[in-house]
Amino acid sequence: MVAKTSFETRPCPIARSLDDVGEWWSILLLRDAFQGLTRFDQFQKSLEIAPNILTRRLNSLVERGLFEKRAYCERPLRHEYVLTAKARDFRPVLLTLLAWGNKHLAPEGPSLVMVDKVDGRWAEPVVVDRHSGRELDSEDFTMATAPMATERMRQRYRFASEGSGLPLVDNTLVDQSHQEARSR
């Protein structure tokens, strides 16, 4: 059996994310948990997954901080798996996968969609910049290295406007300074 390569020490956040949730069973378990499933037998029935694989995947998601394991029955001891804040932050990624899959992998039409609970209208997930509200899939946005990037990453992801003198602004620092100013 070939050992899986770990990306947890790589500086790239995409590689590190794949290390936590990149295995397909993990993503499907998260999908089902977002639909309210919490128990081993519920996951097994939904996914039709072998018990040994399900046990490994659930343990991995607990270990990586995506599920919290809670006892719900003492005799026999049984646990439920509850989404953590870290897992709930994964929901937009899952919704983006849903939209991408419907667009590119469902020639027969969608089988699963997001729906507005108020009016039943199909929702179309998009990724937008929190500050400007603009969609990030345009040519107006690019990946750029941040302060903790390695030199190799800096070579690979040169910020296109570095030569023009346009500063790279960290919005989290801007947001923090605005919050501190408001609290004074």
Could you tell me which residue, 146 or 76, shows the higher pLDDT? 76
Ranges 85-99, 107-121, 162-176: which has the least confidence? 162-176
| CA distance readout (Å), 110 to 12, 35, 36 | 32, 18, 22
pLDDT, greater one: 90 or 141: 90
The length of the chain is 184
Q: Are 25 and 49 in contact (CB under 8 A)?
A: yes
Distance, CA of 101 to CA of 107 (rounded, Å): 10
- Residue 162 carries which side chain, given as an amino acid letter? E
Q: Find the DSSP H helices in the chain.
A: 13-21, 24-34, 40-47, 51-63, 85-88, 91-104, 151-156, 171-183
Long-range CB pairs of 96-99, under 8 A, 24+ apart, other chains included: 96/125, 96/127, 97/27, 98/125, 99/124, 99/125, 99/126
pLDDT band per the 50, 70, 90 thresholds, residue 173:
low
pLDDT of residue 184: 56
Residue 69, strand partner residues: 81
Per-residue pLDDT at 68: 98
Give pLDDT, residue 65: 95
- Rounded Cα–Cα distance for residues 74 and 86 (Å): 27
Weakest-pLDDT range from 32-36, 86-90, 116-120, 150-154: 150-154
Provide the 10 A C-beta neighbour count for residue 7. Answer: 16
Does residue 163 register a pLDDT over 60? Answer: no
Residue range 115-131: mean pLDDT, rounded: 92
pTM: 0.79
Tell me the HSE value of 99 on the side-chain side, using a 13 A CA sphere: 14
pLDDT at 69: 97
The better pLDDT of the pair 111, 39 is held by 39
Mean pLDDT, all residues of the chain: 84
Tens digits of residue pLDDT in 128-156: 998 889 998 878 887 777 778 888 887 77
